[in-house]
Amino acid sequence: MKKFIAITSVFLCVMLLASCKTPSSQKTVNIIQKPNILLICVDDLRPELKSFGASYISSPNIDKLAEKGVSFQKHYVNAPSCGPSRYTLLTGQYGPGSNDALFLRANEIAKGAAVDPSMPEWFKTHGYTTVSVGKVSHHPGGRGGDDWNDSTKIEIPKAWDKHLMPVGEWEHPRGMMHGLAHGEIRVKRGEMDVFQSVEGNNSIYPDGLITNEAVKQLKALSEDEEKPFFLAVGIIKPHLPFGAPKSYFDKYKDVQLPPIAHPQKPEGKSTWHKSSEFMSYNKWGKDPNRDADFADEVRRHYAACVSYADAQVGKVLAELKRTGADKNTIVVLWGDHGWHLGEHGIWGKHSLFEESLHSPMIIQYPGMASKGSKTNAMVETLDIFPTLCELTGVETPKFAQGTSLKGILEKPDSAGHDAIAYFKQGFTIRTETHRMILHKDGFVELYDHATAENESNNIADKHPELVKELMESLKSKLQ
């Protein structure tokens, strides 16, 4: 497998906390271990939360986390799809732009190839207990096979002490991934409704089971006073189909939605696509690009899923606090990519436009001086691995290609860096002022973010020198 290797600086920072009280025992425990890590991954989450400037979204638990940490307002993923984006998160390296990226890596390991360890494996070899629950890698539970439950086909070999995926009435991880209420499994997209709202509690949809298991694992991990933990929790919603308990949808019945920004399909060649994933579900013969009322209905159901996901985040964070482990735990909340809700006439991800690549990220740890800060420093998913190393005092591996964000966490007004991404169409680089998209056939899109036109007017022909400069920057980062 082709790798792009870059050398990063190595920093060491040991966090030692004197003591904390564990509510269950009410005794003082001396903490001599490195900080725990709680990584919360949320699928298809736009940076459309109150803590990121969206006034109409109900996201109280994520917003509360933002009040205790630093929210990265300009975080960009390295690929606009679940598999390759999570590859970057979990390996700290650029990789293939396909959803089977991690399985391709696993195949190389099986052949005996020299493959750098994944992030959880790295922490595991440095004394951490590693556990994943839900959708952390591309397949919920991290296994392959027809129903994604074949334990002989591991998506990230040697990474997790436990990789768990409760399935309940959805029968298997594949059923959970696109499940609707009360065990409904997707057989054919066209036979499954694109959105749904059903009376009931959190557990009538798959994420309720994932969260319950995460709470159970968190309780057990927090009782180990000798060994730190790395717990990754993957929440599926707001991934398609948009299904959430009715109580969450009711929050948006009478909410005034903001207009869709630049909703028209771009003229000429672009990274636009036909929204095939979304359009293949049952939409009752409606098209949100032609039916404004239906578009609003879709957006309300998406918002309901965001609030449902937010509630699951709240349950996990409440358990972290209840156990007392919050006093020695770094929390990272990460959206695996964005999602178009009609921008550029797209309903989905998989473009190289801003909406597919911009996602929320929050980092919080005990004693941080800048809690509650919002930073506009531009950063990438690639930066998470070296950041966690520096915050925990674990050696930063030379193969990790990102840049530690510890300096930005301490001084949120610090500068960031350009962000790159890639997918089937080609590559893109985002600077503070522009986005350039380089198609694999050589075609170029260039957009000026300092104008109201944003990414709706390709100005590449008018700025050949800037295009050349950005191409060199893109090439430099990839090398």
Output the average pLDDT for the chain. Answer: 93
Do 298 and 323 lie in one domain? The reply is yes
Q: Taking 70 as the threshold, does the pLDDT of residue 373 lie above it? A: yes
Alpha carbons 40 and 75: distance in angstroms, whole number: 15
Tokens of 355: 């909406």
Q: Is residue 200 part of a domain?
A: yes
Q: Look up residue 358 and give its DSSP letter.
A: B
pLDDT (0 to 100) of residue 346: 98
Do 378 and 474 lie in one domain? The reply is no
Q: Is residue 34 part of a domain?
A: yes
If DSSP codes are grouped into helix, strand and coil, which group holds residue 227? coil
Q: Is residue 8 part of a domain?
A: no
Q: How confident is the model at residue 11 (pLDDT cuts 50, 70, 90)?
A: very low
Active site residues: 82, 138
pLDDT (0 to 100) of residue 225: 87
Q: Is residue 250 part of a domain?
A: yes
Do 157 and 268 lie in one domain? The reply is yes
Q: Is residue 133 part of a domain?
A: yes
Q: Residues 356-367: pLDDT tens digits?
A: 999 999 999 999
Residue numbers of the domain that contains 471: 435-479
C-beta neighbour count of 35 within 10 angstroms: 24
pLDDT (0 to 100) of residue 32: 58
Average pLDDT over residues 288-303: 98
Q: How confident is the model at residue 473 (pLDDT cuts 50, 70, 90)?
A: very high
160 half-sphere exposure, CB direction, 13 A CA radius: 21
Burial of 194 (0-12, 13-18, 19+ CB in 10 A): buried
Do 324 and 418 lie in one domain? The reply is yes
Average pLDDT over residues 10-35: 40
What's the predicted TM-score (pTM) here? Answer: 0.93
- Rounded alpha-carbon distances, angstroms, from residue 316 to 65, 189, 361, 437, 479: 12, 31, 17, 38, 39
- Rounded alpha-carbon distances, angstroms, from residue 434 to 69, 76, 266: 28, 14, 17
Q: Is residue 140 part of a domain?
A: yes
Alpha carbons 197 and 365: distance in angstroms, whole number: 36
pLDDT (0 to 100) of residue 33: 81
Q: Taking 90 as the threshold, does the pLDDT of residue 22 lie above it? A: no
- The CATH number for 256's domain is 3.40.720.10
Q: How confident is the model at residue 478 (pLDDT cuts 50, 70, 90)?
A: confident
Do 266 and 344 lie in one domain? The reply is yes
pLDDT (0 to 100) of residue 243: 98
Q: Residues 166-189: pLDDT tens digits?
A: 999 999 999 999 999 999 999 999
pLDDT (0 to 100) of residue 270: 96
Instruction: Give the chain's end-to-end CA distance (angstroms, integer).
Output: 15
Q: Is residue 90 part of a domain?
A: yes
Count structural domains, the chain.
2
Q: Please give the share of the chain, as a percent, with pLDDT higher than 70.
A: 93
Q: Taking 90 as the threshold, does the pLDDT of residue 451 lie above it? A: yes
pLDDT (0 to 100) of residue 348: 98
Average pLDDT over residues 248-267: 95
Alpha carbons 314 and 383: distance in angstroms, whole number: 25
Q: Is residue 98 part of a domain?
A: yes
Do 407 and 441 lie in one domain? The reply is no
Do 108 and 67 lie in one domain? The reply is yes
Do 176 and 69 lie in one domain? The reply is yes
Higher-confidence position of 2 and 392: 392
Do 166 and 303 lie in one domain? The reply is yes
Q: How confident is the model at residue 153 (pLDDT cuts 50, 70, 90)?
A: very high
Do 303 and 156 lie in one domain? The reply is yes
Alpha carbons 278 and 260: distance in angstroms, whole number: 17
Do 397 and 478 lie in one domain? The reply is no
Do 96 and 219 lie in one domain? The reply is yes
Q: How confident is the model at residue 6 (pLDDT cuts 50, 70, 90)?
A: very low
Q: Look up residue 466 and give its DSSP letter.
A: H
Q: Residues 29-88: pLDDT tens digits?
A: 344 589 999 999 999 999 999 999 999 999 999 999 999 999 999 999 999 999 999 999
